[in-house]
Amino acid sequence: MGEEMKAETSPSPSLQAPSLQVEKAAQVIAALLKNGRNNEENRLKLSKLVWAADRYSIRSQGALVTQSPYSAMFYGPVPSIPLTMMRDSSEYLPPADIAYAREHFDKTEHGIILIADPGDDLLSPLDEKWINKAESNFRGMDRWKLATEVSHRYPEWKKFADFFAQPENRKSRRQIDETDFFYNPDGHDRYFALPPEQLAMAKELYDYQKSILGDLGVLV
C-alpha cells in the first residue's frame, strides 16, 4: 500500500518543471533552427552558431545568451547544456530537462529538428541581436571551416590545442573559463573584434554580475 501511494504521488519527469537554463537554451536552439532549412540543422554547425551568439553577447554585455557552461572539445568550444539537448543525452541533465528537450526537438543521425516551438519569451532584444549576428556571419559557412578554422583561433579553445593534438584526447573535453571569451586571438580578427574600451566595460559588467551572485550564495 505504501509503495502504491508513493508511486501515485511521485510526478513523472514530464510533469516536473524544467530548469530555466534549459528553457532558455531551447529558445536559442529553436530560434536558430527556425532560420534554417526545414527547421533542421547539423549538430556541429548548430553548436558553433550558438557559440558565436554567446561570444558576441559576453564580449558586448558581459553575459552569455544561453547562460550555459562551456567545454572545449576536439571540434571547438561547445555550450554544454545546448549540446546535451541536441544529443538527447541523459548523462548531464536531470530527467525533467531531458523530457522537456524531447518535447521540442528530435534527433537525426547528425542533426536536430524542431518539432514544437518553445517560444521566445526568455530572449531579450539583445539576445536576438546576437543570435541574428551569428546567423548573418556564419550560417552560410561550411561547418568544418567554422569548427576547425574559425573557432580554433580563439583563446577559449586554443589554450587546449596541444591537448587535443594527442590522438588519445580527441574524445575528451575540458572546461572553459568564461573569462577567456574576453581575450582576442593572435592577428586580425574579422568576426569578434571590439574597441578595447567597450570590451573592458563588458568585462567589468561580467565581474560585477559574478560578484553579486557570489554575495547571494549562488554558485558561479
CB 151 within 8 A of CB 51: yes
Span 17-56, pLDDT tens digits: 999 999 999 999 999 999 878 899 999 999 999 999 999 9
Average pLDDT of the chain, as a whole number: 90
* Total residues found in the chain within this entry: 220
Band (pLDDT 50/70/90 cuts) for residue 193 is very high
Question: Residue 210 and residue 91: Cα distance in Å, rounded?
Answer: 27
- Residue range 64-88: mean pLDDT, rounded: 95
Band (pLDDT 50/70/90 cuts) for residue 162 is very high
- Residue range 199-206: mean pLDDT, rounded: 97
* pLDDT tops 80 at residue 220: no
> What sign for the dihedral angle of Cα 159, 162, 165, 171?
negative
∠ Cα 96 119 128 (to 5°): 115
* pLDDT tops 90 at residue 173: yes
- Residue range 171-195: mean pLDDT, rounded: 96
Higher-confidence residue of 71 and 35: namely 71
pLDDT at 88: 82
**In angstroms, what CA-CA distances link 94 with 25, 32, 71, 142?**
15, 24, 19, 33
* pLDDT tops 90 at residue 90: no
Which amino acid belongs to residue 90?
S
Question: Residue 51 and residue 15: Cα distance in Å, rounded?
Answer: 31
- Residue range 114-119: mean pLDDT, rounded: 97
CB 112 within 8 A of CB 33: yes
* pLDDT tops 60 at residue 10: no
Task: Specify the DSSP element, H or E, that contains 70.
Answer: strand 70-73
- Residue range 115-132: mean pLDDT, rounded: 97
* pLDDT tops 80 at residue 189: yes
- Residue range 65-79: mean pLDDT, rounded: 96
Band (pLDDT 50/70/90 cuts) for residue 164 is very high
Residue 87 CB neighbour total at 10 angstroms? 15
Question: Residue 26 and residue 44: Cα distance in Å, rounded?
Answer: 16
Task: Specify the DSSP element, H or E, that contains 78.
Answer: strand 76-79
Residue among 137, 81, 133, 143 nearest 111 (CA): 143
CB 25 within 8 A of CB 82: yes
Residue among 216, 215, 194 nearest 62 (CA): 194
